[in-house]
A and B are shown apart, each in its own frame.
Chain A
Amino acid sequence: MESTAQKTLGDDSHLRVVPPTVEELDTVTVRFCGDSGDGMQLTGTEFTKSTAILGNDLATFPDYPAEIRAPAGTLPGVSGFQIQFSSHDIYTPGDAPDVLVAMNPAALKTNLPDLLPGGILVVNTGAFNETNLQKAGYAKNPIDDEQLQAKYRLFKVDITKLTELSLEGSGLGSKEIARSKNMFALGMMCWMYGRPMDNIIDGLRQKFTKKPEIAEANVQVLKAGFNYGETTEAFSHKYEVKPARLAPGKYRNVTGNQAAALGFVTAAARSGVRLFLGSYPITPASDILHELSSYKNYGVMTFQAEDEIAGIASAIGASFGGSLALTTSSGPGVALKTEAMGLALMLELPLVICNVQRGGPSTGLPTKTEQADLLQAVYGRNGESPIPVLASSTPGDCFEAAYEAFRIAVKYMTPVLYLTDGYLANGSEPWLIPDPAKLPPITVKYRTDPEGFHAYQRDPKTLARPWVIPGTPGMEHRVGGLEKDSLTGNVSYDPQNHEKMIRTRAEKVARVADEIPPTQIFGEPSGDVLVLGWGGTYGALHQAVESLQKRGKKVSQVHLRWLNPLPKDLGEVIRRFQTVLVPELNLGQLSKILRSTYLVDCVTLNKIQGKPFKVAEIVAKVNELLERPRA
């Protein structure tokens, strides 16, 4: 089963006589890994596109270093892309890969521990030279190791050499040739899992319209990789993963950041009001700025500000002027915005602050995921400064959450903090394209009647104040961050008025709970363990609970959309379970809120490694809880 470049194209001893065995699989997890210069993200996204078109359910997890280009061949420079695809519903990119494609020794070293025993390991032997082995800290070539060969199904392919051979005479330089070897790996995987390549080829030609020779080289190498699988006997098996039975409708693949951007545009379109984004580049939120910047003909104005504070300040200025105002950032940037958020809640103007969370504190782990900004979101401002907080749970769900954030911001005249995270932002899944007409409306009504107008006169139901924008005759008024009179909005230092305003602002945010539908419980309404989560952990928690339920365990799941206020019935739901497990990618922030709100104990499960939960970790914890002796 060995194949190296010594078997050149002239030597046909390895050419296929026996057709490969086709094996049907339910679910496969593939991880491509290599140097950050090896194009693993492109390889992964192209494979994903092709998988999406086949109708599999899928979830992806790109994992790349914070450095733009760490030194080539080193461990910190390794970039990876994992995709799980399946013939049934799946909710995560997979705990561990069944298939690992390692483009160099460093990639093998950092990723091999994750590969399942018996898994397929495809290694680019061409990159396993002395220098690269040394850079990865290997004393000996690991692929010659018998133990490794016994533990995994190892396929040694000199991808480097084969790529060179397929581009011989193309006239391309050695650098360009080296850069296309990722396409060989992609071609092999397309063959192995029967993925169509037409759309990949179209995509490459589109991507390199200005450099057709590069496009054609990539296409050629891609095909060479595919043919290598088809014509040589390097691989004895091909696999088939049947389309998933997803809900009927039209689908596309979206990342969380794309979906959020679409949600924001949809809010603008549905309300008929311009969207204004004031933002400053920051990982992993910048993609929302990029997406929205291209939507200029959709009533979207984007402003790349001089800093994070100007990002939110410009948005508040635009909100004062009547726009749907948005600012996007990640933890450290959100920290800089807190004073302005306080102003927005004093001014009682609609504003959405989107925090694509990453590993903290401080600069932390910019490209890794974490859920450690929840307390910052709920409490992180000076003074009594409540703001509604909601979170999205899957990449596709970012669309609805983004839309909902604006609906509430406008209806209650308040800033709203919307939390997503790096895992959702860059991860993708098939997305049932929604019909915007079916979303609840966002009704913007500027007050224009000066008769009896007071800037802080409130709607009796929502406690929202009127939105009056400059340009409206007869309603000139001033707003500001000083405490204001509860009716006129003029500056007031009156002690009773201050307490009244503090309580009113809190009550207004509390009333957002009226918008929250009854808590949906996945599973029985009562039982032994309730797995209670929020945000991007949804997939892992759901898959874990589903598998536990299949094994007859009395385990249910609740996943929160709203973190502030909490659903009205949540306390009662929690009390119906023996144990509440709150898994979070932080040291226990939601659990802190739940304990103080409901005076219930929750068991915490915390992971702070910049990585999402594995399904198995949740399952193990729940089993542990189920097995522990009852008091």
Chain B
Amino acid sequence: MSADLIPVSQKQALTKKDFQSDQDVRWCPGCGDYAILAQVQKLMPELGIPRHDIVFISGIGCSSRFPYYMNTYGMHSIHGRAPAFATGLKASRPELSVWVVTGDGDGLSIGGNHMIHTLRRNVDLKILLFNNRIYGLTKGQYSPTSELGKKTKSTPYGSVDAPFSPAQLALGAGSTFVARSVDVEPPHLLSTLRAAATHKGSAFVEIYQNCNVFNDGAYSYMTEKAVKADAQLVLEPGKPLVFGKAKDKAIRMNAKLQPEVFTLGKDGDLSQAIVHDPTNETLAWMLAHLAPPHFPTPIGVFRSVERPAYDALMNDQEKDVLAKKGKGDLQKLLNAGETWVVK
């Protein structure tokens, strides 16, 4: 049953509570995952999709316990492979709403290959990547998003492993929807998830998530009350790239085609500020490269463009072949090629 076929009354009947499963949530107290779970459960009733048409699929890691807590269909699969399980399910059951929950280790290290190919194909999956820049479940080793020099159990002298940016990777893989949000910004997270949910095709959402046990404060540089207005650049379609406590800072391109921060009213005026447009490919690339110390961290939707979804193309092709060739006749198939009769 597709979402459109649900009677309005039923749509309204569901609440956040309906999406809470009977299982005790078992993340560490204070873990950022709780906040993400709460926002996802809050979003679900809004979508008007009945619970039984929703599936959450995860890999292995702290974040991957997620499906157990959602009162929908769910699968806790194997390490790194959730996008592949989800692809098989979505391709064969395109009417389902399929969500992938993964982490920086699961989705970008062991499962990096599946991630890039899923995004490249544009499978209609909503992919939530909880980025805590650490391996939590295995008790604290550095991950592919941990910063250089990071001291962890497996890097007592500091990591010499260069990290990559999930948003850049997703853009590079051709994802049609790339966004970033933060566990401690509930309204922003909710609106970002909403945008992802309504996108047709792969929607990749990186969620900065605090692991208070093994990597506490990984994002405090941009989440602390005192700094956040200056450290966050909230992307809003159609709005200029303005930030700062006094909303007095903006981003423009200089003569060398490099982004630069300038002060409004002092170094220039609002007309010079770049206006955000998630359909602008070049802009998305530029935004994905903005990072401290010289720039604020962008959050919001980097790119949102339309491209046919893989699962839809697959099913359309099947329909095309059916229309052209008609429903296959098994007897004919078995008797195909050169045959002869023995009497």
Instruction: Chain A residues near B341: list those with CB within 8 A.
Output: 248-251
B113–A276 CB distance below 8 A: no
**Given A296-B321, A301-B314: A317 touches B328 (CB 8 Å cut-off):** no
Instruction: Chain A residues near B95: list those with CB within 8 A.
Output: 471
> By DSSP majority rule, is chain A's interface helix, strand, loop, or mixed?
mixed
Q: Could you give, for residues 189-205 of chain B, a 1 whenever the CB lies within 8 Å of some chain A CB and a 0 otherwise?
A: 00000000000000000
Q: Could you give, for residues 470-482 of chain A, a 1 whenever the CB lies within 8 Å of some chain B CB and a 0 otherwise?
A: 1111111111111
A476–B117 CB distance below 8 A: no
Indicate if B133 sits at the interface (CB-CB under 8 A): no
A470–B333 CB distance below 8 A: no
A315–B88 CB distance below 8 A: yes
Instruction: Chain A residues near B325: list those with CB within 8 A.
Output: 297
| Interface magnitude class on chain A | 35 or more
Q: Could you give, for residues 451-471 of chain A, a 1 whenever the CB lies within 8 Å of some chain B CB and a 0 otherwise?
A: 000000000000000000111
Nearest CB to that of B86 among chain A residues? A317
**Given A252-B339, A470-B89: A265 touches B321 (CB 8 Å cut-off):** no
Indicate if B335 sits at the interface (CB-CB under 8 A): yes
Indicate if B246 sits at the interface (CB-CB under 8 A): no
Partner of B91 from the list A246, A303, A340, A436 (CB cut-off 8 Å) is A303
Indicate if B338 sits at the interface (CB-CB under 8 A): yes
How many Å from the CB of B89 to the closest CB on chain A?
4
Indicate if A288 sits at the interface (CB-CB under 8 A): no
Indicate if A305 sits at the interface (CB-CB under 8 A): yes
Nearest CB to that of A249 among chain B residues? B342
**Given A470-B89, A476-B51: A295 touches B338 (CB 8 Å cut-off):** no
Partner of A478 from the list B68, B81, B314, B317 (CB cut-off 8 Å) is B68
Query: Which of B72-80, B140-148, B163-171, B274-282 faces chain A?
Result: B72-80
Query: Which of A48-56, A215-223, A620-628 faces chain B?
Result: A48-56
B74–A266 CB distance below 8 A: no
Partner of B88 from the list A262, A313, A434, A470 (CB cut-off 8 Å) is A313
**Given A321-B93, A481-B78: A473 touches B113 (CB 8 Å cut-off):** no
> By DSSP majority rule, is chain B's interface helix, strand, loop, or mixed?
mixed
Indicate if B258 sits at the interface (CB-CB under 8 A): no
**Given A265-B330, A306-B117, A310-B117: A474 touches B76 (CB 8 Å cut-off):** no
Nearest CB to that of A299 among chain B residues? B328
Instruction: Chain B residues near A247: list those with CB within 8 A.
Output: 342
A53–B338 CB distance below 8 A: yes
A49–B84 CB distance below 8 A: no
Among B41-100, those with CB < 8 Å from A are: 50-55, 57, 60, 67-68, 70-79, 81, 84-93, 95-96
A471–B1 CB distance below 8 A: yes
Partner of B92 from the list A53, A301, A342, A480 (CB cut-off 8 Å) is A301
Instruction: Chain B residues near A262: list those with CB within 8 A.
Output: 333-334
B93–A297 CB distance below 8 A: no
Among A138-156, those with CB < 8 Å from B are: none
Instruction: Chain A residues near B53: list those with CB within 8 A.
Output: 470-471
B326–A199 CB distance below 8 A: no
Nearest CB to that of A468 among chain B residues? B73
Nearest CB to that of A262 among chain B residues? B334
Indicate if B157 sits at the interface (CB-CB under 8 A): no
A473–B342 CB distance below 8 A: no
Nearest CB to that of A436 among chain B residues? B330
Bound state CA distance, A598 and B75, in angstroms? 40
A478–B74 CB distance below 8 A: yes
**Given A55-B340, A316-B85: A322 touches B93 (CB 8 Å cut-off):** yes
Indicate if B318 sits at the interface (CB-CB under 8 A): yes
Indicate if A165 sits at the interface (CB-CB under 8 A): no
A303–B76 CB distance below 8 A: no
B339–A434 CB distance below 8 A: no
Instruction: Chain A residues near B342: list those with CB within 8 A.
Output: 55, 243, 245-251
Residues of chain B touching chain A, judged by Cβ–Cβ distance below 8 Å, are 1, 21, 23, 50-55, 57, 60, 67-68, 70-79, 81, 84-93, 95-96, 113-114, 117, 314, 317-318, 321-322, 325-328, 330-331, 333-343
Q: List 27 A-B contacts (CB under 8 A).
A: A199-B338, A246-B342, A248-B342, A249-B341, A252-B339, A252-B340, A253-B338, A278-B84, A295-B328, A301-B92, A306-B84, A310-B113, A313-B85, A314-B87, A317-B57, A318-B92, A320-B75, A321-B88, A321-B93, A347-B75, A436-B330, A471-B52, A478-B74, A480-B74, A480-B75, A481-B60, A490-B23
